[in-house]
Chains A and B, each alone.
Chain A
Amino acid sequence: MSTSSGDELHDQYKDLFTQDGVLLKTSVGRPVSDFNSIGMLCIVQNADGTKCIEWRPNDLITIDSDTQDQEWAVVNTVGRRQRTLSGNITSDYANLRARIIKIPLDDLKTFRITRNNQQMQFSTKPGVWQNTFYFQHGNAEIFVAYLKNHLKTAKTRHDRNTYMVVEPNDESQVLNKSFAELDIFTENTTDVVWNLVSNFKQRPYETTLEAFSKLTDIVYYGNEDVNGKRDVSEEVADLLTKSMSALEDTTSVTRSDEYEVISVKPTLPPRPCIPRGSPLSTEKWDALQDADGRIVEVEGVKQLIFRGGVAHSIRSTVWKYLLDYFPWKMTHAELKTLQKRKTEEYFSMKLQWRSVTEGQENRFSEYRDRKSLVEKDVNRTDRTHPFFAGDNNPHLAVLQDILMTYVMYNFDLGYVQGMSDILAPLLLLLGNEVDSFWCFVGFMEKIASNFDMDQAGMKHQLLQLQQLLMFASPELAQHLSQKDSGNMYFCFRWLLVWFKREFSHIDIMRLWEVLWTGLPCANFHLLICVAILDAEKEVIISRDYGFTEILKHVNDLSMTLDVDRVLSSAEGIYHQIVSAPHLTDQIRIVLGIEPLNLSMSTNSDPEPSTSTLPSTKPSQVELKEGNGNTIFGQEMDEDVVVYNGLRITIVTKTVWALLA
């Protein structure tokens, strides 16, 4: 680390403080290639007296030490004078120069220091951490100390590590004076602000930091001309109202001088309308097998099924593959053997519970309990469908037998409500006890975590859904949060039985077979949720639905949804998300896409060893810790390095609080 006062020779442009060995971790609007490069973080005084924070990549600094300072002076002025590049500046150099990050102190709203004081993030716009730097040598403390020489800060109440910039420019005395009169930032009145903010019960999950930084925003730009004194609480009420509407304001304040393009409130690219295809036909299916019956083009088959589903006539065959009962690469002959073996296996498990005597059963409460749970649900599963209707319907006995055999297959999991819903369509289609059992096993394999004893799997999915919705439909996510529904619990039924209760039998077959392909990404079923919810956005928001109304509305969507439309818009949303320039690692991980930051944690790790990075290592997310109440570790909010991550992680914690 080195400190240097400005070079006397260049009093027009001074480095007031420099800190080397600073890694650029993320920066809004920057090419990914810039990330993880090392550079120097400086506090700089410009020729016009204004100051800014600058980060310069090292490869730039090493160019020509003799002319360096001179060049900096040029660099500094180009932006304002619109001077074109010329003279001794090579185009390489111009490229490098374009990589300088400048944050005018006048624009700086908040900064925070995290990760053992080694990481520093800056924000010039509420709720968006545009730049994240990592101090490789030592920590950010000295930099912060110097920075505080040039601006007045206040720590936020709810986060000791976050500083609000109160007076970025100590030269603007006039403004200071009006602030002094307004008296809004003294200890007492910030209390008023905080009380109001925290009492603002409609937005309990809104990050308080964001709310506060919006307040500062409006104080600066909305009330500069306030001369007369107003009652502070009246002032604050105004500010709150404005800050609420500011949330809805999607216009992006984009500064576009040469050095910074700060994109604000990023919006998704338009949603492509992708028509559904026709179902995989018998002819195509036959053509995709070799002479011995092996499926030759598995990925192609899956693509076709994803596009259009499966023709009903071949469903019962294709499902066995999709549900991992039949391996794709087996010949007809091998499949025959397999089926024979699986049939024997099934009946030997069935025999196990069949041979339990009444006396045994009386002394075997765990078995008895499971049996009674199965009986209760079999009796009320899809009884309106002709296949299961009427008294003493023989198909009910088959449901019962399969579920009881599954209890023997996986006694620890046992029978959980919802499983009969999963099985019924399989039996309805396959019509055969053994095939239905093994397909059921395959389906359960995919969704076993839905039936976790402590609901961890469901909670995890609800959280991921919340994150996706926040990204893909932020206004709706915002509304839900305001209405105590940010935990997405109203989607519980959708997720638990994969929309079985929401669609007719014929439609659920289509939806399931598409979802079983695992295309186009992981957790596509969550995008189905997003698609359904997004279509209800107008209704939910414009009618100002609250907690109960949201749940009722969502429950009442059952049997009103068009499966093809839902699939098509879910796919459209998928494309919107993955092509969004502000796509975050958090979302990438949910969708099973390699996160960008992964290299950081696998290479020579500059991170403090104590803090893991759930956003890049999903496997480290602890799901069943302690008493089963806490799902994620506390460091979660520190670790999510995404632009809107702050809000999301606060909601995260709330989810657990609510569901615990």
Chain B
Amino acid sequence: MATNRTGAAQRPNGAPQTKVCQFKLVLLGESAVGKSSLVLRFVKGQFHEYQESTIGAAFLTQAIRFDDTTVKFEIWDTAGQERYHSLAPMYYRGAQSAIVVYDITNQDTFGRAKNWVKELQRQASPSIVIALAGNKSDLAAKRMVEFEEAQAYADENGLLFMETSAKTAMNVNDIFLAIANKLPKSEAGAAGAAGGGRRLADGEQPRPSQCCK
């Protein structure tokens, strides 16, 4: 595990970064829609055809860099089966963002995604940024959920929306970027500077921060 805990990270042009924002992001959605696969693609650039099911929860971190801002995502990947529903609030509590995932080849998972959105709107932080991901877009031949239908639903509810494919990587980075863009970073400067302005290496543990709340 690479660690570099000292010194401000340098941007390619040598200028020190000034802002580091840390956000908690939670993935929700029916079992097997591809939540873990999306995270794995985003964080490690990998895809496993036979990604094992998630038991309990998994935690990963990934950072995205903008011009003068590093956005660190603390990503909570959860188990999707209804049986484990009661444990989800533990993970979306305090989350600034959520990706609700469905499988475009399975209409039921879209219905389930809508329920998750409702629950988040009711229970999670009011300012939470929610993105809807219609995953497995590479399986367009088996499509059961129309793009327009999902887009209309997302518009009605003020959600970010993209169809993604963890398999082909289509729109995976983009959906995380879109979330990062939408998250408020106004107070980031001071807090980020206090955090040392470093980019986290993969696997490195970020310190909890009040940044960007």
A residues sitting closer than 8 Å to B (CB atoms) are 373, 376-377, 379-384, 416-418, 420-421, 451, 453-455, 489-490, 492-493, 496-497, 501, 545-549, 551-552, 555, 628, 658-660
Contacts and interface: CB of A to CB of B under 8 A. Distances in A.
Contacts of A489: 56-57, 87, 90
B86 A455 contact: yes
Contact of B84 (A383, A417, A555): A417
B163 interface: no
B50 A379 contact: yes
B87 A659 contact: yes
B59 A552 contact: yes
A556 to B, nearest CB: 9
Contacts of A383: 49-50, 52
B50 A380 contact: yes
Interface of B: 31-32, 49-53, 55-60, 74, 79-81, 83-84, 86-87, 90, 205-208
Contacts of B53: 376-377, 380-381, 417-418, 420
Contact of B56 (A377, A496, A549): A496
Nearest to B56: A492
Contacts of B55: 417-418, 421, 492-493, 496-497, 501
Lowest 5 A-B CB distances belong to which pairs? A383-B50, A492-B56, A376-B32, A493-B56, A493-B55
B59 A551 contact: yes
Contacts of A453: 83
Contact of B87 (A455, A501, A549, A555): A455
A658 B31 contact: no
Given A496-B55, A555-B58, A659-B90, 6 more contacts: A377-B32, A548-B59, A551-B57, A552-B59, A552-B205, A658-B90
Contact of A451 (B51, B60, B83, B208): B83
B31 A373 contact: yes
A384 B207 CA distance: 34
Contact of A384 (B31, B50, B80, B86): B50
Query: Which of B53, B56, B60, B84 has the most chain A CB within a 10 Å cutoff?
Result: B56
A454 B59 contact: no
B56 A417 contact: no
A381 B205 contact: no
Contacts of B207: 546
Contact of B208 (A455, A546, A660): A546
Contacts of A417: 31, 53, 55, 79-81, 83-84
Nearest to A452: B83
Contacts of A501: 52, 55
B19 to A, nearest CB: 21
A378 to B, nearest CB: 10
Contact of B81 (A381, A416, A421): A416
A490 B56 CA distance: 8
B83 A376 contact: no
24 contacts: A373-B31, A376-B31, A377-B31, A381-B52, A382-B52, A383-B49, A417-B79, A417-B84, A453-B83, A489-B57, A490-B56, A492-B55, A492-B57, A493-B56, A496-B55, A546-B208, A548-B59, A548-B74, A551-B57, A628-B86, A658-B90, A659-B86, A659-B87, A659-B90
Nearest to B1: A556
Contacts of A454: 86
A549 B205 contact: yes
Contacts of B59: 548, 551-552, 555
B51 to A, nearest CB: 6
A658 B49 CA distance: 34
Contacts of A376: 31-32, 53
Contact of B52 (A380, A490, A552, A658): A380
Contacts of B58: 555
A381 B53 CA distance: 8
B83 A416 contact: yes
A420 B181 CA distance: 40
Contacts of B206: 548
B46 to A, nearest CB: 14
A272 B203 CA distance: 36
B91 to A, nearest CB: 10
